[in-house]
Amino acid sequence: MGTTPTAERMVLGPGRSPRLSLFAVAHHPCLGSECDLPYSADRGKKSVNRQALDELKQQIPLLDYLQAQDWQPVRPLSGGRWMGLCPLHADRKPSFLVDPGKSLFYCYGCGRGGDVIRFAEIYHDLKFPQALALLRQWRGLAPLLQQATDFYRMQLHRHPEAVAYLLQRGVRSPKLIEHMRIGYAPGGCLRGWLMQLGYPLPALRQAGLVTAVGYDAYVNRIVFPLEGNLYGRSISAAAPPHRFLPGAKGGLYAWEQARRYPEVILVEGLFDYAVLWQAGFHNVTCAMGTHLNARQFQQLCDGPHTVYLSFDADANGSGQQASQQLAHRLEAHGIPARHIVLPAGHDPNSFFVQGGDAGQFQSLLEAAQS
């Protein structure tokens, strides 16, 4: 599996002695009173300033960061602590302990634990300096994207053209709109709103929410918040259909939910995801394109799932080709893959929009072949 090197690295922990790590596994001192990971000391990085690290950790409470990655607490424990499914390994019963007071985690399943920086290292498969950079970026960007998301969600019901577009794409259920936090960017008003809230223009430009000349970047677009990004789908045929803000598109969409199922449906677009979720298929996830980034691929490999691929049945065969290639890569990592064969010219969205129902899709799932 693709996760083995990380797992080995993290069980020992970079730059730590095996003796110390055994102690950590047996007693998980990270959740005791004395844990204070001496980054600058044990990793020999003089450049990493202890105070800056403490500040960063203070500004990013572990629980906030976990929840932004879709992690959900399942069971409360004493002292305000929580148990939930471990986002770092294929977990069947909650073995991931989070102490929000101390901003520390420990997993009884995979034996890993630590603070928010350690979590980011393992979760995103990054080295320490890259994890720091990612968290610093997240600290700056997260509140801004949250504000933009809230604003776009407020706009959705004020714009009949946006609601009409959603209906036309088969998105009807208020529960779905809530679940996906779907919003609408009319254009010409986000910049003013965010600046009123005190965000300086350069920050809005840097995030890509505002263009270099100062206009809202998203105009007449349905907006879906992703992990650290916003996807905007144009409702007008005159503009390029798909837009992302600068930066990575993130991991698989709603992976924390989908990964709990032994069978996972992978689709290409968020409107495919939407109609399937609405039809009751909650074991669905989306790569936002047919090309999976390294993290998305690793997520698919991180557990005993069977992956059902349902990419667009394009006339030029590109969807089928991407699907075949991905299936081979998955099989090479020991992950069974099946192809869902949709009627010619259809994607899951158009299949449901044009009258397909859950029962019919279920039949296609059962008929899916490797």
As a dihedral over the C-alpha atoms of residue 21, residue 27, residue 28, residue 34, rounded to 10 degrees, the angle is: -100
From candidates 28, 89, 249, 338, binder to Zn ion by CB under 5 A: 89
Find the shortest distance in angstroms from Cβ 91 to Zn ion: 6
Nearer to Zn ion, 107 or 368 (CB): 107
Beta bridge partners of 114: 105
Q: Are 269 and 257 in contact (CB under 8 A)?
A: no
124 binds Zn ion (CB under 5 A): no
Q: Are 99 and 79 in contact (CB under 8 A)?
A: yes
Helix runs in 157-216, H state only: 160-168, 174-180, 190-196, 201-207
d(CA 24, CA 13): 10
Nearer to Zn ion, 123 or 308 (CB): 123
For residue 345, the one-letter residue type is G
Find the shortest distance in angstroms from Cβ 259 to Zn ion: 12
The residue with tokens 């390994």 is: 89
267 binds Zn ion (CB under 5 A): no
Find the shortest distance in angstroms from Cβ 106 to Zn ion: 9
Site string for Zn ion, 31-70 (x = CB under 5 A): ----------------------------------------
Binding segment toward Zn ion, per CB under 5 A, in 54-62, 66-74, 106-114, 170-178? 106-114
Nearer to Zn ion, 149 or 257 (CB): 257
Find the shortest distance in angstroms from Cβ 116 to Zn ion: 16
Binding segment toward Zn ion, per CB under 5 A, in 31-39, 86-94, 170-178, 283-291? 86-94
Closest CA to 230 of 222, 219, 241: 222
Q: Is 333 helix (H, G, I), strand (E, B) or coil?
A: coil
From candidates 24, 37, 86, 177, binder to Zn ion by CB under 5 A: 86
Nearer to Zn ion, 104 or 107 (CB): 107
Find the shortest distance in angstroms from Cβ 340 to Zn ion: 31
24 binds Zn ion (CB under 5 A): no
88 binds Zn ion (CB under 5 A): yes
Nearer to Zn ion, 67 or 95 (CB): 95
Contacts of 70 (CB under 8 A, 6+ apart): 227, 254, 255, 256, 257
107 binds Zn ion (CB under 5 A): yes
Q: Are 11 and 4 in contact (CB under 8 A)?
A: no
Beta bridge partners of 243: 232
97 binds Zn ion (CB under 5 A): no
Q: What letter would DSSP give residue 210?
A: B
Nearer to Zn ion, 94 or 183 (CB): 94
CA distances from 322 to 65, 103, 115, 136, 287 (A): 33, 41, 38, 34, 12
28 binds Zn ion (CB under 5 A): no
Nearer to Zn ion, 107 or 267 (CB): 107
187 binds Zn ion (CB under 5 A): no
d(CA 370, CA 334): 13
338 binds Zn ion (CB under 5 A): no
Closest CA to 177 of 255, 273, 269: 273
User: Cβ–Cβ contacts within 10 Å for residue 315, how many?
Assistant: 9
From candidates 61, 109, 187, 208, binder to Zn ion by CB under 5 A: 109
From candidates 110, 264, 284, 313, binder to Zn ion by CB under 5 A: 110
d(CA 268, CA 190): 28
Binding site for Zn ion (CB under 5 A): 86, 88-89, 107, 109-110
